[in-house]
Structures are given as structure tokens and as C-alpha cells.
Amino acid sequence: MAFRKVAIAGATGNLGPSIVNELVNQGFEVTVLSSSGNTSALPSAVKVIKVDYSSQDSVVSALRGQEAFISTIPKHDQQPALIDAAIAAGVQRFIPSEFGSNTIGNEKVRALPVFAGKVKTQEYLRSKQDQISYTFLITGLFLDWGLNLGWLANLKGKTDINDNGDSVHSFTLLTDIGRAVAGVLKHPEETKNRGVYVQTAALSQNQVLKIAGKVKPEFKAETEQVDLAEVEKNAYAELKKDGGNIGLAMVSFIKISIFKEGYGNLWDEKNDNELLGVKGLSSSELEDLVAKSF
Ligand SMILES: NC(=O)c1ccc[n+]([C@@H]2O[C@H](COP(=O)([O-])OP(=O)(O)OC[C@H]3O[C@@H](n4cnc5c(N)ncnc54)[C@H](OP(=O)(O)O)[C@@H]3O)[C@@H](O)[C@H]2O)c1
């Protein structure tokens, strides 16, 4: 039977609001756990509980009566404590803060230092699956975020073309991630103790630049070719260096997982879109999205 009573931690960040809005629109009973209490942008239908994540009692008491718990917090080493609290409160399903690269199906991605916390959380959940079930949701780069940040294509400046720019990867809109989470909650058995893959579109960087030229003929793409093997080598060198730029290295590892061939970043042929109610975009919807990104 579908889960109806769901809690979410980290709902006030980049991803959380899209999930909350979709769950509320689909009639789920949503409770938001928040450390800051900065929840004014969330729909009034949600119940907000201010929590102190350093206190297990605080989190357990906020989770009592909930059937599922979604984490979108950015601090992955804090998730095992959330899982313990969920178990203590009797929650049945935990959806950890994944929502990105293929950390479940590709060993090269799993080995990238930036994903160590996500991988440890997965291992922790697997070790507790007799007490709580889980679903890992793999989405690739957020499509709208990737356009706004200029990672997929920078329509306001120079685009870094990763390797040849022709390889195709899976990307998901924030709204579709909300739909996919709702889909998991509506299909507990089919999504139990496994990873699910969703995508809004499979695209290459060169395809996006081509669409940009179609919707705005005066647009002239400014590009610079980037060799991802070199980026990877430099990122590991930064990690080894005294006073190295760890932040830059981590961003490099994320880009490698999204764009480098061999990193399992395309699930166009086999994914869970249909089960989870994610439809993808028609060509004209894709053109509208790109047109809005100038
Ligand atoms: N695929 C992609 O393109 C992509 C892009 C960005 C992020 N992601 C992934 O999506 C997930 C969510 O990322 P996000 O960018 O939405 O996160 P975020 O905006 O950095 O943070 C989300 C919320 O988590 C809470 N939070 C912040 N620091 C915390 C801490 N130390 N402990 C507990 N809670 C904390 C805050 O909510 P309160 O103040 O309400 O507690 C914050 O608003 C992550 O797993 C990230 O890797 C993927």
C-alpha cells in the first residue's frame, strides 16, 4: 500500500522545495524537519518541526507516526544518525540524499572521493534493511540547474565542452524529481531496497547548443574544449597537495561523473520513468526550456 505520511529533512534547499510541492499537490501528508526553521517559502499545507540534528530524541520525536522519510541534506555523514532515528521512530522507508550521479551502478563513480559519504550511507542502509527499507533515486544532473549554472551549456557566456561534447547523458528536471519521489512512495513494493533511475531527457552538450541556435538564431556559442582525463588528474593532485583546493577538486569529480564516458551516466534505454510517472519532454518543450535559459 502507498505511503501517505511522509517526512522530509533538508526541504529548504535547492532540491527540497520541488519534492515538497509535488508531494503536497499529490495529496501526501508532508512534515518538514528543519534545523533553521526558514520554511516560509514552502506550502502552508506542510507541518514544520524544528529539529536539532545533534539530538537523536529531537529527530525521533519529529518522525513518530511517519511512514517514509526523505533526506535531501547535503551533509552525507549525518545520514546514518537520521536512519537510526527513523528506525527508532518506526518509519518504514528511507530515501537518502542521492539525487545525482550513478553511485549505485558504476564502480568508477563510487570510487570518486566526492561520493564517499553517499556510498557509506548506501552501505549503512543495506546493513539495516531488516529494520527499514530504502530506495536510492538516481537522476543525473538537474536539467534546469545544469542550464542555469552553465554546466550543460552556458547560454550567457563560454561553455566548457567536456571531451568531444557529443556523448549523451541523462538529466532530470527538479519538478520530475518531485514526481519520481511521489512515484516511489506510491509504489513501495516495486521500489523496495533498490536503486531507481529517472531522466527527463538524454542530451549531449552539442545537442543543447544546437537547440539554442535554433530557438535564437543570433546566438553564437562560445566554447572551450576541456579534457576530462586532465581534469581528473588535476583533481587528485589538488587532494594530495598541502593546502590544495578541495572544493575545486570535488566540483571536478562531480563534472567527471556527469560527463565522462564510462561513468554510467546514460539510462535512456532502461529506467523507471514509467513506473514513477516521469514523462520526459517533447522536442518543443525542450526548446522552450532552452529558450528560457538565455
Ligand atoms: N544532480 C544534481 O545536479 C544535484 C545538484 C545539487 C544537489 N544535488 C544533490 O541533492 C541533494 C540535496 O542537495 P541541495 O543542494 O538541495 O542541498 P542544500 O540546498 O545545500 O541543503 C538542503 C537543506 O539541508 C539542510 N542542511 C544544510 N546543512 C545541513 C547540515 N549540516 N545538516 C543537516 N541539514 C542541513 C538545510 O535545511 P534546514 O535549514 O531546513 O534544516 C538546507 O536548506 C544532495 O544529495 C546533493 O548531492 C544534486
Measured from the Cβ of residue 111, the count of other Cβ atoms closer than 10 Å reads: 11
- The share of the chain scoring above pLDDT 70, in percent, equals 100
Residue range 63-110, pLDDT digits in tens:
999 999 999 999 999 999 999 999 999 999 999 999 999 999 999 999
User: 228: which 3 cell numbers?
Assistant: 576530462
Q: 67 near 132, Cβ under 8 Å?
A: no
Q: pLDDT at position 223, please?
A: 97
CA-proximal residue: ligand 1, atom 40 (nearest): 34
pLDDT band of 163, cuts 50, 70, 90: very high
Instruction: Round to whole Å and give the CA distance between 201 and 257.
Output: 17
Instruction: Round to whole Å and give the CA distance between 167 and 45.
Output: 43
CA-proximal residue: ligand 1, atom 24 (nearest): 10
pLDDT band of 24, cuts 50, 70, 90: very high
Ligand 1 geometric centre to CA of 116 (Å) = 16
CA end-to-end span of the chain: 44
Q: pLDDT at position 238, please?
A: 97
Closest ligand 1 atom number to CA of residue 39: 40
Q: pLDDT at position 172, please?
A: 98
Backbone angle region of 197, left / alpha / beta, with phi > 0 → left and psi within -120 to 50 → alpha: beta
Alpha-carbon dihedral of residues 15, 129, 51, 43, nearest 10 degrees? 40
Q: Return the percent helix, strand and coil in the chain, to nearest 5.
A: 40, 15, 40
Measured from the Cβ of residue 126, the count of other Cβ atoms closer than 10 Å reads: 10
pLDDT band of 17, cuts 50, 70, 90: very high
Ligand 1 geometric centre to CA of 71 (Å) = 9
pLDDT band of 25, cuts 50, 70, 90: very high
Ligand 1 geometric centre to CA of 76 (Å) = 9
Q: In which residue are the cell numbers 542502509 written? A: 125
Instruction: Round to whole Å and give the CA distance between 72 and 15.
Output: 7
Measured from the Cβ of residue 55, the count of other Cβ atoms closer than 10 Å reads: 12
User: 243: which 3 cell numbers?
Assistant: 593546502
Q: pLDDT at position 56, please?
A: 97
Stretch 52-56: mean pLDDT: 97
Q: pLDDT at position 141, please?
A: 98
Residue range 105-142, pLDDT digits in tens:
999 999 999 999 999 999 999 999 999 999 999 999 99
Ligand 1 geometric centre to CA of 219 (Å) = 34
Closest ligand 1 atom number to CA of residue 146: 3
- What mean pLDDT, rounded, does the chain reach? 97
Q: pLDDT at position 69, please?
A: 99
Closest ligand 1 atom number to CA of residue 76: 45
Stretch 11-37: mean pLDDT: 98
Residue range 203-227, pLDDT digits in tens:
999 999 999 999 999 999 999 999 9
Q: Pocket residues for ligand 1 (CB within 6 Å)?
A: 10, 12-16, 34-36, 38, 53, 72-75, 78, 97, 99-100, 139, 141-142, 145
pLDDT band of 234, cuts 50, 70, 90: very high
Could you give all domains of the chain from N- to C-terminal order, each with its CATH number? Answer: 5-138+174-197 (3.40.50.720), 143-169+201-266+278-291 (3.90.25.10)
In a mutational test of the pocket of ligand 1, which residue from 14, 197, 259 has the highest number of ligand atoms less than 8 Å from its CB? 14
Q: pLDDT at position 39, please?
A: 95
Instruction: Round to whole Å and give the CA distance between 166 and 81.
Output: 42
For residue 203, list its beta bridge partners: 169
Q: In which residue are the cell numbers 534493511 written? A: 129
Ligand 1 geometric centre to CA of 36 (Å) = 13
CA-proximal residue: ligand 1, atom 25 (nearest): 10
Ligand 1 geometric centre to CA of 10 (Å) = 6
In a mutational test of the pocket of ligand 1, which residue from 38, 47, 48, 99 has the highest number of ligand atoms less than 8 Å from its CB? 99
